[in-house]
Structure 1
Amino acid sequence: MTDLRAGQLLVATAQLVDPNFAETVVLLLDADENGALGVVLNRPSTVPVSDVLEPWASVVAQPDVLFQGGPVSTEGALAVGRLRSSDDTPVGYRVVTDEIGVIDLDTPVELIDGSLSGLRIYAGYAGWGAGQLEGEIEEGSWYVVPSLPPDCFRDDTVSLWRDVLRRQPGELAWHSTRPLDPDLN
């Protein structure tokens, strides 16, 4: 059984054809015996952050659009930020890894601005009940791999899926060279 932890990445395998998750990379924000929660890192929308959360528009990383975090609570927003320094943890910040955390969007921006080197806002999230994600991993739908802080804040999210696999040891790196749809090969 895979030991799931906040901060790990879920990388969709070719077997995962659900349109919500095909070819995605998900950052786990919470994982325990009750289930797991994460956000899809590589699904930018066309909606500018300034259109829906104007105060946060000046601090988000490029591209400055909302990202589609997953199919759950798509009307809600969730923010992930990267600290400039671990000595300067702002109000409204909940640690996920040493450098990455969840930002409470009810916190005034001026209390956070300057403390972060990156911020991304997600509409919705991906959620799994107790044992559900472990079952999907066992059936071969996800690879579980370590994350790197820059994964969350790349300008170009199109190649994230391949790049995350490419840096893995052994057979996982090979999967980065496979066509996303083998039938088109």
Structure 2
Amino acid sequence: MSMSDFYADRLFNALERNEPAPGMLLVAAPGMLSDEFNRSVVLIIEHNEHLTFGVNLASRSDLAVFNVMPDWLPAVAKPQALYIGGPLNQQSVVGLAMTKAGVDMETAPQLNRLANRLAHVDLRADPGDIAELVEGMRLFAGYAEWAPGQLDGEIDRGDWFVTPALPTDVIVPGRTDLWGDVMRRQQPPLPLFSTFPADLMDN
């Protein structure tokens, strides 16, 4: 039995399963061997019969927002770096935000509600208007996408655990281990894996 089969059979497949939907997180299984998705926490933005689309919240780049989209600085939470949302189309940028308390997203067409206080931001909007509505936001270069049936197959295999996102997941401080934090707030036994090493050679 391979290590990936061990974790799939003994961990994620044994847990109560949530269905993928906008506002849910895809949390990479401990020991996932994919360099692109190891310790990733993907927020689902769109999920329908045609595709699943989301961004990895846990991969910060060394590129400052100031150097690429300076108009958005007033809205962007610190650290004000561009994040890498996924391997596809890294020339495109996705905006996600935690709204201020009391903001009604139904009256703010620039915000597409994903969950309570969690929004997908229309980057065609005026950055100043968005800054008035949000506690903070992040900009993500690129995204992850799955074809029909592809994600279900990966979940069945045990590659991903599906859990609700918190709005604070989008704007966590720079030194936070988001993958470990998300694992720690799950039901047992997942918190036991929150300190699983990023590189198995470290264990």
Taking structure 1 as the reference length, the TM-score comes to: 0.92
Alpha-carbon distance between aligned partners in 1 of 2:62 and 2:178, rounded to the nearest angstrom: 18
The CA deviation string for residues 28-66 of structure 1, in whole angstroms up to 9 with x for no partner, is 111122221111111011111111111101210011011
Are 1:154 and 2:172 matched, yes or no?
Answer: yes
Name the SS of the counterpart of 1:136 in structure 2.
Answer: helix
Given that residues 80 and 103 in structure 1 are in contact (C-alpha distance below 8 angstroms), is that contact kept between their aligned partners in structure 2?
yes
Given that residues 2 and 134 in structure 1 are in contact (C-alpha distance below 8 angstroms), is that contact kept between their aligned partners in structure 2?
no
What is the root-mean-square deviation of aligned Cα atoms in Å?
Answer: 1.7
The CA deviation string for residues 9-44 of structure 1, in whole angstroms up to 9 with x for no partner, is 111113422211111111111112222111111101
Are 1:30 and 2:27 matched, yes or no?
Answer: no
Name the SS of the counterpart of 1:102 in structure 2.
Answer: strand
Query: Compared with structure 1, are the counterparts of its residues 87 and 154 closer, same or farther at alpha carbon in structure 2 (3 Å cutoff)?
Result: closer
Give the match for residue 121 of structure 1. 139
- Cα offset for 1:146? 1.8
The CA deviation string for residues 115-160 of structure 1, in whole angstroms up to 9 with x for no partner, is 1001100001111111111111111111111211111101135411
Query: Compared with structure 1, are the counterparts of its residues 58 and 145 closer, same or farther at alpha carbon in structure 2 (3 Å cutoff)?
Result: same
Aligned with residue 66 of structure 2, among 40, 50, 53: 50
Name the SS of the counterpart of 1:112 in structure 2.
Answer: helix
Pairs aligned (count): 185
Alpha-carbon distance between aligned partners in 2 of 1:95 and 1:153, rounded to the nearest angstrom: 16
Q: Would you identify which runs of 4 or more consecutive aligned residues in structure 1 move more than 4 Å? A: none
The CA deviation string for residues 80-99 of structure 1, in whole angstroms up to 9 with x for no partner, is 01111344433411111121
Name the SS of the counterpart of 1:114 in structure 2.
Answer: helix
Given that residues 45 and 53 in structure 2 are in contact (C-alpha distance below 8 angstroms), is that contact kept between their aligned partners in structure 1?
yes
- Which stretches in structure 1 are left out of the alignment for 5+ residues? none
Query: Compared with structure 1, are the counterparts of its residues 82 and 40 closer, same or farther at alpha carbon in structure 2 (3 Å cutoff)?
Result: same
Taking structure 2 as the reference length, the TM-score comes to: 0.85
